[in-house]
Structure 1
Amino acid sequence: MIHLTETAANHVRNYLLNRGKGEGIRVGVKTSGCSGLAYVLEFVDDINEYDQVFEQHGVKVFVDPKSIVYLDGLEMDYVKNGLNEGFEFNNPNKKGECGCGESFTV
């Protein structure tokens, strides 16, 4: 299961409305950085039949079968700290991360 906070869902919904199309967002992982994995976010225009779909606060989140192993239980929030803003990932599967925070290990 992937959990979106209401703040994150509102942010995604606004982007989809401004974009004018899209079914939701896809959350996945890719090999990257010095620790191994990095989060990937993209808009979903065409649904993949193998994706798992989670809907919260009116927003659909799609996850491919390979990524769900690393992301099950993930909570996504959208935070603003001063001039910085972005998605924050609370992943119960994460065992460590690199010093810069770009990648993580499970």
Structure 2
Amino acid sequence: MNSPAFLIKKLKELIMLAKSAENGFEKASVYAASQAIANDFDKNSQHFDIYTMEKILNTCWHIRAAIGYDITNGHSSSSHITWALGELLTLENLLDERTQLIQD
């Protein structure tokens, strides 16, 4: 697995790409990348607690919903982008907090 911090950075990039994706190729690319990251974390889930995994999977779901590759529950693409950013911010804070605990 790549560094979790590196993958978090890539998720942020994917959120921005999802926001601007206009054609099928761009949307399919964002879908594939977000799914690959979700799978990578899922394969290594034993290294993360349930709450962290929930944030990772929710971020990826919101990305996919924003581009029309997952259920939207009736919400707009812009709502899913906002929620993905919120989930990602929480995830970044969790990983920073845990890194700080390890260093102390």
TM norm structure 2: 0.25
Higher strand share: 1
